[in-house]
A and B are shown apart, each in its own frame.
Chain A
């Protein structure tokens, strides 16, 4: 029972990491109806930047926000340079471009930082504490706390501030927003910046667990897809709950299902994606798409 509880806590922790990346996907999906295949790679590159900053002697808690700001700026730059020229293009074009971006960033990271896996520092100790008879590691608690804070910050930004309101308006009703004087294109860029920063949190949180290397996020992005699809791809709350559910499922399946250890956990992610798409394509919190013909 105690072991089960520990698995649940670390499942929630890893779920928080998936949730951050899934939320980043949802933010961009809401802004322009596009799944950003480069989200994981953007987070990976930003994590490398954080690694470089910390290596130069910057303290962890200073490097963390600096990296987020850099990621935010980079997200805006990517939207302006690469996405804007094809903003109105067909989905096919946009998906291929984000895939090209993923390949490019992966290669760039390999070129600049090499392919040798590096250990990334964690600010939390790996000791455990006794919480009501369950031994929980500080690391898991720290990851849960940081992910929770970030998700809360995004919620407040989107729901309680004027900028957030404008961003949501620009995403849902671009024409009406334009008439009201909202600079829709820049709001989309802001969405990309925000998504980039939120995704980076998942990269920095997962790096101490997985070791930092250019292909680090390749499996995490699959879980994030699963989380976003499970939550209904347009719902930020759904992405968070989906992330935690996927984290729990993957962790518990790895621990208790015979034969699902190690690399086959990734197949659980694929199974979740396929099951949701076949059984409930709108996910848990998505609205059924109605189309007028």
Chain B
């Protein structure tokens, strides 16, 4: 009987996922690649939210606002100042990060509940705030973002593998993937070491953390800044992948979708955001494709289901996961793995004769 002594090496799992994501656009269509690019972008934003909510315990319901900020900084730099789009991504990320850091300073005084309330209000007001400086933001129309053509080298490699030339959607996918890998690597390093431990200590007991010498204000604002940095990157990429930014690109439901992703994947875990993003992004899309294809659902119901479906399923998922599986998908996998491990270990030990066959005879 085999025995899973330790978990499989982490780098192996990471390598499998990375190879899968790198190879994916070569087997799916260009349109599907653009969908997956958005899922990856969601994963980046959700990772940021996860650092803030899952690790440092500060609840933000307005992360869509930070995404909007990043997207608009990039779009305005490209549109008005004719900067190269790729160059604007780090600028937007850093600028959003700084603003997030500044936002974190007054938030220090707020309890988790008040912070949730203020950020929720921010998320609701964001679209109207964007509309106002109309010369800068393009008002209701928004700003068109020209999608860049892939550079020659990338295109050559891609056509050597697949035999077809690379579209800009596929190029954007790879840009997003590169950002995702870099930022997840950064998060992994950050969260498994001192800052991550400090943040979790603050989340689980501020007084105890302070007594152990954790600088609470510094780490809380740091978490806000990093989180906004991730959201800004995601926002900038989001504008690139949708081809335009407008106030309606960033409704409250975007912030809720991010939260749903963070909760489904599993708060305070590193693979969680990627899993959660894929589920939260594809759930409404897939259900929208599935519902009209079912002939037994009357047309009229199908059309309302299309509108209301995502909200209903998100709501049900949020409630069920928080009640029954607060650690999300990652938590469920881990639990299943532990259970399997215990089973196998028990069986192995019995075979090796370490446990008595029948305890009563001892």
Residues of A near any B CB (own CB < 8 A) = 33-35, 37, 82, 85-86, 89, 91-93, 95-97, 99-108, 110-111, 114-115, 218-219, 222, 225-226, 229, 263-264, 266-267, 269-270, 273-274, 277-278, 281, 293
Contact = CB atoms under 8 A, between A and B. Distances in A.
Would you call the interface of chain B mostly helix, strand, loop, or mixed? helix
Contacts of B110: 277, 281
Contact of A99 (B114, B121, B256): B256
A290 B69 CA distance: 37
B29 interface: no
A104 B319 CA distance: 9
Contacts of B128: 263-264, 266-267
A275 to B, nearest CB: 11
A274 B118 contact: yes
Contact of B311 (A89, A107, A278): A107
Most chain A CB inside 10 Å of its own CB: which residue of B124, B307, B310: B124
A110 B304 contact: yes
A100 B316 contact: yes
Determine the interface band of chain B, counting residues with CB < 8 A from chain A.
35 or more
Given A97-B323, A218-B252, A270-B125, A114 B315 contact: no
Contacts of A101: 315, 319
Interface in B206-263: 207, 252-253, 256, 259, 263
A111 B131 contact: no
A207 B316 CA distance: 27
Contacts of A270: 121-122, 124-125
Contacts of A108: 308, 312
B112 interface: yes
Nearest to A272: B121
B112 A92 contact: yes
Contacts of B312: 103-104, 107-108, 111
Nearest to A262: B128
B315 A104 contact: yes
A273 B59 contact: no
Closest 8 CB pairs of A and B: A104-B315, A100-B318, A107-B311, A107-B312, A111-B308, A103-B315, A110-B308, A100-B319
Nearest to B315: A104
Given A96-B259, A277-B118, A264 B132 contact: yes
25 contacts: A34-B113, A35-B117, A37-B61, A37-B116, A86-B322, A92-B57, A92-B112, A93-B322, A96-B263, A97-B322, A97-B323, A104-B311, A104-B319, A111-B305, A222-B124, A225-B121, A229-B117, A264-B128, A269-B121, A269-B125, A270-B122, A277-B118, A278-B109, A281-B109, A281-B110
> Which among A107, A226, A229, A277 has the greatest number of chain B C-beta atoms within 10 A?
A107
Given A277-B118, A281-B114, A99 B259 contact: yes
A85 B304 CA distance: 31
A102 B310 CA distance: 13
Given A107-B315, A219-B124, 19 more contacts: A35-B113, A35-B117, A37-B116, A92-B53, A96-B259, A96-B322, A99-B259, A103-B318, A104-B318, A105-B315, A106-B311, A107-B312, A110-B308, A226-B121, A263-B131, A267-B128, A273-B118, A273-B121, A277-B109
Contact of A103 (B114, B125, B311, B322): B311
Contact of B113 (A91, A106, A218): A91
A239 B312 CA distance: 31
A106 B316 CA distance: 12
Contacts of B322: 86, 89, 93, 96-97, 100
A12 to B, nearest CB: 23
Contact of B309 (A35, A96, A107): A107
Contacts of A263: 128, 131
Interface string B121-161: 11011001101100000000000000000000000000000
B271 interface: no
Nearest to A96: B322
Contacts of A226: 121
Contacts of A115: 307
Contact of B323 (A85, A95, A105, A107): A85
A115 B309 CA distance: 13
A212 to B, nearest CB: 16
A111 B109 CA distance: 40
B348 interface: no
Nearest to B57: A92
B285 to A, nearest CB: 16
A106 B308 CA distance: 8
Nearest to B309: A107
B310 to A, nearest CB: 7
Contacts of B319: 82, 97, 100-101, 104
A95 B59 contact: yes
A110 B322 CA distance: 24
B314 A100 contact: yes
A103 B308 contact: no
Interface string B31-55: 0000000000000000000000100
A5 B128 CA distance: 29
B194 to A, nearest CB: 23
B8 interface: no
B121 A218 contact: no
Nearest to B301: A111
Contacts of B317: 100
